């Protein structure tokens, strides 16, 4: 039982209704509990009902819609006026980050400036700010309609990427090599409204995972990524720490730290995407939240004793943090199997994966009879295998072998003939 005088964590946005989202939030809540924090969770009503284990870990739960501008901050002010005291304001969901910043600002608690969070969540605004500061960025254009996209293509050299202004998980992102492919890419965009067309960056993709300590970004590790071939951006593998020359790692860290300062971000966790190219480090999207894809579990293996969420709480509470201990000493890798699309008939070899002693986590999201869709975004992931090892190279070799040992047997889906 917590004491009502204990410091309180306001967890804005709670968890999304997915296994990964719930695991992230429950991990964060357990690390908060270990620090003697009370926990008050806010979330949308339907999602609270769908994530009962999160509510069970909290001291209090309130229905607040973080997607309605200003609602979370107004609710927090009312609570404070009624005598509630929130010492830490935090959240892990991408779509809740503006609400997290607005609540922290309203309560005078540590957080990121709301305008800075809005800027990085609006991809073109972040691109423009970084380019103006001299960081390498893809050339891009915000397009209100297809005609603007056609004009951008005519005045630049492909290939290009068509993407939403505000989304996550590679949702609606397509590479195109010609004007003829534009219409299909536009049809793949989620929703309506403005979108972005930008130059495709040639080079391996990475991300930097970290935490702000005393307002300064501290990179915990670099993640390497493997993707399926275009046109979409389905990520099939992560390795932590990335197998990189030391000079490249240091250059990435330098660029990321400088970019976060330029973007006026200073609080919480972070995940920054980038490419290594012949021109140097080209920065991609920046996020003030933990990385997805079970990277929170991988980092905990790579840096023994790491409590990524707990570092944020320790920072706010003024507790000492030994930054020298926050360095990778082991390796981890994850694979997202990509079976052929069709109706799933059988799965062979999965039980052997579950029994492997190096397994950190595995998940199977399909069963015989399900339809496996083409692999176009994180929404189409059907399974995952994450392992830990002494080195990243060993982890990569092992996870690839386990992935290859699983056989997904599918058959073509036959559609009934269309009525005349």
pLDDT in tens, 232-269: 888 999 999 999 999 999 999 999 999 999 999 999 99
pLDDT tens-digit profile of 46-73? 999 999 999 999 999 999 999 999 999 9
Backbone angles phi, psi at 170, to 5 degrees: 60, 20
Q: Where are the beta strands (DSSP E) in 342-395?
A: 342-348, 359-364, 371-372, 383-389
Which residues neighbour 75 within 8 Å (Cβ) at sequence distance 6 or greater? 42, 62, 64
Please tell me what DSSP assigns to residue 419: P
Tell me the two tokens of residue 297: 């579990």
Instruction: Provide the pLDDT confidence category of residue 380 given band limits of 50, 70 and 90.
Output: confident
CA distance 226 to 228: 7
Average pLDDT, the chain: 95
Backbone angles phi, psi at 140, to 5 degrees: -150, 170
- Is the confidence at residue 419, as pLDDT, over 60? no
Out of 166-170, 194-198, 296-300, pick the least confident: 166-170
Q: Is 229 exposed, middle or buried (0-12, 13-18, 19+ CB in 10 A)?
A: exposed
Rg (CA), the chain: 22
Which residues neighbour 339 within 8 Å (Cβ) at sequence distance 6 or greater? 372, 382, 408, 410
Q: What is the DSSP string of 25-59?
A: HHHHHHHHHTTT-EEEEEE-HHHHHH-HHHHHHSS
Instruction: Provide the pLDDT confidence category of residue 209 given band limits of 50, 70 and 90.
Output: very high
User: What percentage of the chain exceeds 70 in pLDDT?
Assistant: 97
Query: What confidence score (pLDDT) does residue 2 get?
Result: 66
Give the domains, in start order, of the chain with CATH numbers.
8-109 (3.40.50.20), 139-199 (3.30.1490.20), 205-410 (3.30.470.20)
Give me the mean pLDDT over the 363-390 stretch: 93
Residue 393: alpha-carbon gap to chain centroid: 23
Instruction: Provide the pLDDT confidence category of residue 356 given band limits of 50, 70 and 90.
Output: very high
Cβ contact 282:252 at 8 Å? no
More confident site: 5 or 351? 351
Highest mean pLDDT among 2-11, 116-125, 171-180, 394-403: 394-403
Query: What confidence score (pLDDT) does residue 141 get?
Result: 93
Cis peptide, bond prior to residue 159, ω within 30 of zero = yes
Tell me the two tokens of residue 129: 């700010």
Cβ contact 308:220 at 8 Å? yes
């Amino acid at each position: 039982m917590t004491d009502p005088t204990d410091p309180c964590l306001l967890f804005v946005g709670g968890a999304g209704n997915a296994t990964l989202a719930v695991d992230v939030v429950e991990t964060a809540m357990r690390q908060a509990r270990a620090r003697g924090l009370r926990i008050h969770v806010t979330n949308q009503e339907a999602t609270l009902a769908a994530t009962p284990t999160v509510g069970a870990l909290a001291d209090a739960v309130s229905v607040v819609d973080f997607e309605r501008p200003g609602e979370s901050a107004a609710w927090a002010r009312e609570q404070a006026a009624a005598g509630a005291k929130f010492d830490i304001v935090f959240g892990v969901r991408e779509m809740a980050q503006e609400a997290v910043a607005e609540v922290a600002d309203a309560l005078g608690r540590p957080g990121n400036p709301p305008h800075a969070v809005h800027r990085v969540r609006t991809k073109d605004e972040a691109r423009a700010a970084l380019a103006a500061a001299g960081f390498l960025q893809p050339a891009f254009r915000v397009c209100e309609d297809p005609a603007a996209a056609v004009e951008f293509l005519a005045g630049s050299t492909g290939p290009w990427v068509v993407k939403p202004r505000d989304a996550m998980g590679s949702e609606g992102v397509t590479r195109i090599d010609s004007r003829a492919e534009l219409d299909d890419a536009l049809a793949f965009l989620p929703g309506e409204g403005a979108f972005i067309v930008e130059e495709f960056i040639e080079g391996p993709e990475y991300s930097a995972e970290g935490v702000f300590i005393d307002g300064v970004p501290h990179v915990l590790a670099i993640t390497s990524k493997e993707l399926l071939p275009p046109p979409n951006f389905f990520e099939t593998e992560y390795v932590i720490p990335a197998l990189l020359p030391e000079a490249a790692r240091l250059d990435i860290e330098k660029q990321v730290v400088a970019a976060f300062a330029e973007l006026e971000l200073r609080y919480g966790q972070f995940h920054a995407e980038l490419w290594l190219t012949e021109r140097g480090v080209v920065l991609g999207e920046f996020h003030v939240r933990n990385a997805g894809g079970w990277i929170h579990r991988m980092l905990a293996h790579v840096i023994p004793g790491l409590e990524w969420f707990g570092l944020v709480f320790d920072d706010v509470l003024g507790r000492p943090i030994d930054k020298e201990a926050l360095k990778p000493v082991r390796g981890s890798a994850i694979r997202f199997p990509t079976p052929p699309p069709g109706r799933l008939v059988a799965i062979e070899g999965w039980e052997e994966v579950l029994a492997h002693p190096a397994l950190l986590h595995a998940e199977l999201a399909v069963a015989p009879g399900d339809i496996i869709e083409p692999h176009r975004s994180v929404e189409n992931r059907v399974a995952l295998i994450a392992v830990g090892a002494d080195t990243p190279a060993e982890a990569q070799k092992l996870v690839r072998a386990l992935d290859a040992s699983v056989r997904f047997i599918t058959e073509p889906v036959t559609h009934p003939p269309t009525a005349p």
